[in-house]
Structure 1
Amino acid sequence: MSSIDVIVPCYRYGHFLRECVKSVLSQSVPDVRVLIIDDASPDNTNEVAVDLAGQDSRVSVLRHFTNKGHIATFNEGIEWASADYFLLLSADDYLLPGALGRAIALMDNHPEVGFTFGKAIMLNDHAMAEQPIMNEGSWRILEGLEFIEFSGARNIVFAPTVVVRTELQKRLGGYRAELTHAGDMEMWLRFAAHASVGMTDAYQAVYRRHSENMSLEYLGKSWLPDLQQRAYAFNSFFQTCSDVLPNAQQLHRKLLWLLACEAVGFASAAFNEGKMEVSEAISEFALGICPDIKRSLPWAKLACKRAMSYETWRALQPIVDKIRK
């Protein structure tokens, strides 16, 4: 079976690190290496990492003495990788049994596939979400353009389930420094512009949702930063990959239209909550990335609500909700 390198970037996740690394080392693949990168964590990350490396020669440790941030750390891992395949696994997530074997087998048999991904089980602060664990699942291979259109304006990929072809990863380059919160989404699009994508309905990893999640803290601020990052991701993607995509401009407009529709929905939800400034900012964002959104039905509905004032809408909303049911 082919080889795989796994980078485990870790910042303040020392209490999760052992479970993460053990989940990799216990996979049914004979040739696996793990590089733990401690990004100057103030907790016990280094002690745990050194202990894991002492117990298993497949584990190496790199420690930063100043914090470089997640993007630089990810790219450092990409530079280190030399195996056939590569996985970037956050220290607070972990793999499910057989995940690497399933992904590698598919990619060994289908050299046109640039990366694979699957389902992930959500694990919150209190307990694992009740989801059936499928140890074996069917695979579907999507053409790159099919994956891009299937994804639409959203990131449908759970990062801990992604196994990429290392040679293609190095050829495409690392994560964009400006895409601090949508870099993975842009990366999957970049891969899809150059290769097919393997998708399985098997559960490949466990994704933790906890109070320390950088992404959850970011998303909790408001809807607008996430929408802006996705727009930046699309712009960056098409700037670098338009030459290998058919009808790139049309596809770019379609994705921005979908993102603008989603933004108008958030603007409407903000209006319902009485957050008028937020609603205005999000709708202005939608109009900025896609002026045609002003001719859409969601925009017309939002305009009607604004025209009748928040107080009037609140009085009518129960009636409208009842009609919708």
Structure 2
Amino acid sequence: MPPRPTKGSDLSSAIDVMLPYYGDVALMKKAVESVLSQSHTDLRLVVLDDGYPDPEPARWFASLSDPRVTYLRNDVNVGANGNYRKALGLVEAEWFVMMGADDVMRPGYLSAVGRAAREGVDIIQPRVEILDEYDRRILPLADRVKAWLSPSVPPGGSVAAGEPLAVSLLRGNWAYFPAVAWRTAAVRRVGFRTDLDVAQDLALLLDIVADGGRLALLPDTLFDYRRHSRSDSSVRAVDGRRFAEERRFFQQEAKRFRRMGWKRAARAARLHVTSRMNAAATLPQALKAKRSPMPLLTHVIR
């Protein structure tokens, strides 16, 4: 373990880092160590092991002497969505992060969140860089598109809200869910949708925005987000399940925003251009894997 940092805090109370876990043990340890190395030390880390079939995590957490860490193991696997909802129910602090179990917080992340939290916002998104499963810095096409679509952020940061923010997110979801800090009350007002797996992060963002929430964009790179070639979302993309879910989701959002009178947001949801572009870009992978291209073609055309 790295040495614990000296005491210091930018928040008047702790921030909860919720870490739903299922996967690579070594990467999970790196994620935990990055949390415990934060310059903002007033935190609580809660790890929710979703029944990963390896005894090493339980042994390793038992060896830690840091009182800020709580390790819980589910008796049965509840899946990603179920584990997120369980984690939300365990949050105690005013602000929390739902961190990926293989991502890396840079040391100043929580301090920056603490400063931004004073600005009357509900969501905080820093800049991120991308790692692959071998700790190499990469910039895949999807992340180049995200960078192109994301709003420009001045040196002092910026705040977005309302229909313009909804339109921006619907044109292309440039947020990185594990790197986002959330005001607990705002998330609990809307909750995680139970019928989504891949699109649940965008759904939560849009639900909070539709509820009047405000999002702070930070100018500094404070988080390393990891992409895997074998991730669940990659598998779901190739076989078409991801895009079937996204198509249903965007249809629902178009209806919701039309009812609200947010016509530009409804149109952006109806067109879901980047989602359809992503399906088109996935076609070669599907053909290589000898999967039927029809689910992807259906999404592109519709």
* TM-aligned CA deviation for residue 274 of structure 1: 8.0
- Cα drift, residue 196 of structure 1: 1.1
Structure 2 match to 1:47: 59
Counterpart Cα distance in 2 of 1:148 and 1:190: 9
1:80 alignment counterpart:
90
Alignment correspondent of 1:209:
227
Pair 1:64–1:252, CA change in 2 (3 A): same
SS at match of 2:137: coil
Is the radius of gyration larger for structure 1 or structure 2?
A: 1
> In the superposition, relative to structure 1, how do residues 27 and 242 fare at CA in structure 2: closer, same or farther (>3 Å)?
farther
Measured at CA, do residues 137 and 125 of structure 1 come closer, stay the same or move farther in structure 2, by a change above 3 Å? farther
Of the candidates 261, 266, 269, which is equivalent to residue 252 of structure 1?
A: 266
Aligned mate of 2:27, from 9, 16, 22: 16
For the 8 Å contact 2:172–2:275, the answer to whether it is kept is no
Distance 1:212 1:264, change over 3 A: closer
- Cα distance, 1:26 vs structure 2: 1.9
1:179 corresponds to which letter in structure 2?
L
Unaligned runs of 5+ in 2: 1-10, 140-153
Q: 1:241 to 1:124 in 2, by over 3 A?
A: same
Quick check: 2:246–2:275 contact (8 Å CA) kept in 1?
no
1:183 to 182, 200, 206: 200
Higher helix share: 1
Q: Which residue of 2 aligns with 1:319?
A: none
Cα distance change on mapping 1:238 and 1:96 into 2, 3 Å: same
Report deviation, 1:228.
Answer: 2.5
Does the CA-based 8 Å contact 2:247-2:299 persist in structure 1?
A: no
RMSD: 3.0
Query: Does 1 or 2 have the higher relative contact order (CA < 8 Å, sep 6+)?
Result: 2
Q: Which amino acid aligns with 1:139?
A: G
Work out the percentage of aligned pairs sharing the same amino acid.
22
List aligned pairs for 1:1-325, cutoff 5 A.
Answer: 1-2=11-12, 3-43=14-54, 44-52=56-64, 55-108=65-118, 110-111=119-120, 113-129=121-137, 138-173=156-191, 175-193=192-210, 194-219=212-237, 221-222=238-239, 224-237=240-253, 245-247=260-262, 251-259=265-273, 263=276, 266-267=279-280, 270=283, 281-286=295-300, 288=302
Residue ranges of structure 1 left out of the alignment (5+ in a row): 289-325
CA contact (8 A) 2:170 2:265 kept: no
Aligned in 2, Cα 1:102/1:256: closer, same or farther, shift over 3 Å? Answer: same
1:16, distance to aligned residue in structure 2 (A): 1.8
Say if 1:265 and 1:15 are closer, same or farther in 2 by CA, change over 3 A.
closer
Instruction: Please report how far the alpha carbon of residue 141 of structure 1 lies from its aligned counterpart in structure 2 after TM superposition.
Output: 0.7
Q: Deviations over 1:239-271 (max 9, x none)?
A: 67776x4435x5223322143x75278559849
When normalised by structure 2's length, the TM-score is: 0.79
The residue identity in structure 2 corresponding to 1:247 is: W
Distance 1:279 1:30, change over 3 A: closer
Q: Is the 8 A contact 1:142 1:198 kept in 2?
A: yes
State the aligned residue count: 273
Aligned-partner SS, 2:122: strand
The alpha-carbon distance between structure 1 residues 218 and 282, as it changes in their structure 2 partners (threshold 3 A), is closer
Q: Return the offset for 1:188.
A: 1.2
